[in-house]
Amino acid sequence: MGNLFAQTAMANVAARHTTSLNGKWQAIIDPTDVGTWRQVWKEPIAQKKTDFFEYSFEGGPMLNVPGDFNTQMPELTYLEGTVWYKKAFQSTKNTGKRLFLHFGAVNYMATVYLNGNKIGSHEGGFTPFQIEITDFVKQGDNALVVKANNQRLKDGIPGQGYDWFNYGGITRDVNLIQTNDTYIDDYCIQLKKHSKNEVAGWVKVIGSNLNQNVRIIIPEMNINYKTKTKSNGLAEVTFKASCKLWSPENPTLYKVIIQSETDTVSDEIGFRSIETNGSKILLNGKPIFFKGVNIHEEAALKAAKATSEADALTLLTQAKELGCNLVRLAHYPHNEYMVKLAEKMGIMVWDEIPVYQNIEFSTPGVTQKMSLMLREMIKRDRNRCGVVIWSIANETYTTTPGRDKALIDLSKECRQLDSTRLITTVTCNQGYDKNTVNVWDPIFNYVDIISVNEYIGWYVPWQGKPEDTKWKLVNNDKPVILSEFGGEALYGNKVGPTDEANSWSEEYQEQIYKDQTEMFQHVPNLAGLCPWILADFRSLSRLQPVYQKGWNRKGLLSDKGEKKKAWYVMKKYYESIK
């Protein structure tokens, strides 16, 4: 069946007619990927007495889906390679219906086989994809095999080096989705840019009946809006709506029913406006300061990939307790539970794709991957009013060939896909000239927010008194977010002089935060903060054998959820901002 690629997943899987394929899957552990030439997905059956096969799903280990494979068996801890997964499922052929396989995410490369045939593949560990199986599925028993490979690739996104744990496998939910022949693939229902009472969007149907009447029903607002698709299946949506605006204080969501003649999808949507005015960020027309925190998709206390709504609740409750009104979901799109729950809890979301540090921008195919990941993320989250920022990259370098053009093009594509949210890119290219921080990267001319990672007091020593630090900006007319700052400390560690970085002491980290809060007062255009990071997280690049032990210890919380001294500094600072 050749080199088939998966499709970008339809929006809002939770509202579809689904059958979950979560649970125990059979597995073949294949670190050297021999299964590819042995073609394990064919699952041959011995015909003669002399036949034998050196592989089988039967009698092998079982893995939980969703879940990373690394934390499910000790021998998989450091695996960056192939695991084959198998799930048998029953299906009934329904005339006039279509069937899709939907994966929330598989890290990093997924190759999917059904009943012995390859049906699709997908690259990228943090975004959903779907494969239509209407024509491949059999009445009765079906065998689904997925090759999940989390090998790091030079031309991957992210590339080979990154400071988080490379959790592999089928890390998010798997569902079968049944639709009618023509179904609602995607929609966008949100306030028009700069408006607080006008909805502007669209609905897209896919299938053989592209000419359809479409309705948007919002019972609580007494809205029953009618529109029609054009011959391309796209219906424009525009109507007045007097709604309670969504905000962290009042995270109002409305039930919104999107209905075509052949499909209905129900969502909970909030309405708010987000924009900048000079150096200010305005939510619903009023200046807002982003009290943020960085979070990795790692389950608190479990040292494993976060996979469930309960995991999301724990992380977001911690962020709330710190006083946050925003979470930066670093450095890749987190699972949908996280985004939806944040919105319900009144926490704004910064969504980001894993264009991280040393990306091979000029290697053929790389910019296409970036753009696909961006489209997959936006398609999944565009109806989440909680998402206020799309971030297209973290810590890229002007010296990397092709970087400027790639990011400029991506920022334009992002704006074209969604002109309502704020777009940013994060850099750490600033210069330090005595006590002046010089933010010079011209890439900021193409985005709405200047986001700077500075680790003054940790990677970069203070050059004078924190409050005397001066900042020079490449563009004075844009808001600034300090998107990362902090330092490492092992919770409870009492060894060594606390005024030395090498002590890994809470006191040293606490002092960094105290100095930082002094400096914040003097950062021009400061509109938000995201300390690095909510909690200690696993990272194989952290080799210090006594204090780090494979963990990045910059958490305000330990990996056990204990509050370090710096937590209280940051919390107090957020409390002081009204």
**Contact between 395 and ligand GCB per CB under 6 A:** yes
**Contact between 554 and ligand GCB per CB under 6 A:** yes
Contacts with ligand GCB by CB under 6 A: the residue count is 10
Rounded alpha-carbon distances, angstroms, from residue 465 to 336, 406, 462, 515, 566: 43, 38, 7, 8, 19
Residue 156 vs 201, nearer CB to ligand GCB? 156
Task: Enumerate helices (H) and strands (E) in the chain, giving the number of each.
Answer: 7, 34
CB of 498 to ligand GCB, least distance (A): 20
Report the 10 Å Cβ neighbour count for 546: 9
Residue 83 vs 428, nearer CB to ligand GCB? 428
**Contact between 102 and ligand GCB per CB under 6 A:** no
Looking at residue 225, its amino acid is: Y
CB of 332 to ligand GCB, least distance (A): 11
CB of 532 to ligand GCB, least distance (A): 6
Instruction: Give the E-state strand segments of 250-337 in sequence order.
Output: 254-259, 264-269, 274-277, 280-283, 286-287, 290-295, 326-329
CB of 548 to ligand GCB, least distance (A): 11
CB of 377 to ligand GCB, least distance (A): 18
User: Would you state the structure tokens that stand for residue 334, as one six-digit string?
Assistant: 């987190």
Residue 458 vs 573, nearer CB to ligand GCB? 458
Q: What spatial distance separates the first Cα and last Cα of the chain, rounded to whole Å?
A: 60
Rounded alpha-carbon distances, angstroms, from residue 165 to 225, 279, 335: 47, 36, 16
Task: Please tell me the distance from the alpha carbon of residue 295 to that of residue 306, in angstroms, as a whole number.
Answer: 11
Kindly calculate the radius of gyration of the chain based on its CA atoms and give it in whole angstroms. Answer: 24
- CB under 8 Å to 490, separation ≥6 — which residues? 504, 505, 506, 547, 548, 553, 558
* Sole binder of ligand GCB in the list 552, 557, 559, 574 (CB under 6 A): 552
Report the 10 Å Cβ neighbour count for 476: 12
| Paired sense of beta strands 23-30 and 82-91, if any | antiparallel
Residue 190 vs 453, nearer CB to ligand GCB? 453
CB of 351 to ligand GCB, least distance (A): 16
CA dihedral of 156, 158, 159, 161, whole degrees rounded to 10: -160
Site residues for ligand GCB, window 148-167 (CB under 6 A)? 163
Here's the x/- map for ligand GCB, 108-127, by CB under 6 A: it reads as --------------------
Residue 343 vs 352, nearer CB to ligand GCB? 352
Residue 98 vs 542, nearer CB to ligand GCB? 542
Residue 84 vs 108, nearer CB to ligand GCB? 108
Residue 361 vs 532, nearer CB to ligand GCB? 532
* Sole binder of ligand GCB in the list 8, 71, 318, 394 (CB under 6 A): 394
Site residues for ligand GCB, window 504-543 (CB under 6 A)? 532
CB of 455 to ligand GCB, least distance (A): 7
Site residues for ligand GCB, window 426-485 (CB under 6 A)? 428, 453, 484
CB of 459 to ligand GCB, least distance (A): 7
CA dihedral of 177, 187, 316, 393, whole degrees rounded to 10: 110
Task: Please tell me the distance from the alpha carbon of residue 292 to that of residue 276, in angstroms, as a whole number.
Answer: 17
Residue 331 vs 369, nearer CB to ligand GCB? 331
Residue 283 vs 482, nearer CB to ligand GCB? 482
Tokens 């606390």 correspond to what residue? 498
Residue 296 vs 478, nearer CB to ligand GCB? 296
Are 471 and 522 in contact by the 8 Å Cβ rule? The answer is yes
Site residues for ligand GCB, window 409-428 (CB under 6 A)? 428
Q: For residue 427, count CB atoms less than 10 angstroms from its CB and return exposed for 0-12, middle for 13-18, buried for 19 or more.
A: buried
Task: Please tell me the distance from the alpha carbon of residue 289 to that of residue 283, in angstroms, as a whole number.
Answer: 9
CB of 534 to ligand GCB, least distance (A): 12
Which ranges of 395-528 does DSSP label H, i.e. alpha helix?
403-417, 506-520
Residue 422 vs 482, nearer CB to ligand GCB? 482
CB of 122 to ligand GCB, least distance (A): 24
CB of 391 to ligand GCB, least distance (A): 11
Are 477 and 280 in contact by the 8 Å Cβ rule? The answer is no
Q: For residue 499, count CB atoms less than 10 angstroms from its CB and return exposed for 0-12, middle for 13-18, buried for 19 or more.
A: exposed
CB of 503 to ligand GCB, least distance (A): 17
Instruction: Write the Ramachandran bin of 402: left for phi over 0, alpha for psi from -120 to 50, otherwise beta.
Output: left
Here's the x/- map for ligand GCB, 127-146, by CB under 6 A: it reads as --------------------
CB of 322 to ligand GCB, least distance (A): 18
- CB under 8 Å to 198, separation ≥6 — which residues? 191, 192, 238, 239, 240, 241
Q: For residue 46, count CB atoms less than 10 angstroms from its CB and return exposed for 0-12, middle for 13-18, buried for 19 or more.
A: exposed
User: Would you state the structure tokens that stand for residue 266, as one six-digit string?
Assistant: 């129900």
CB of 533 to ligand GCB, least distance (A): 7
Q: Closest residue to ligand GCB, Cβ-based?
A: 163
**Contact between 182 and ligand GCB per CB under 6 A:** no
**Contact between 353 and ligand GCB per CB under 6 A:** no
Residue 146 vs 355, nearer CB to ligand GCB? 355
Where along the sequence are the contacts to ligand GCB (CB under 6 A)? 163, 331, 394-395, 428, 453, 484, 532, 552, 554
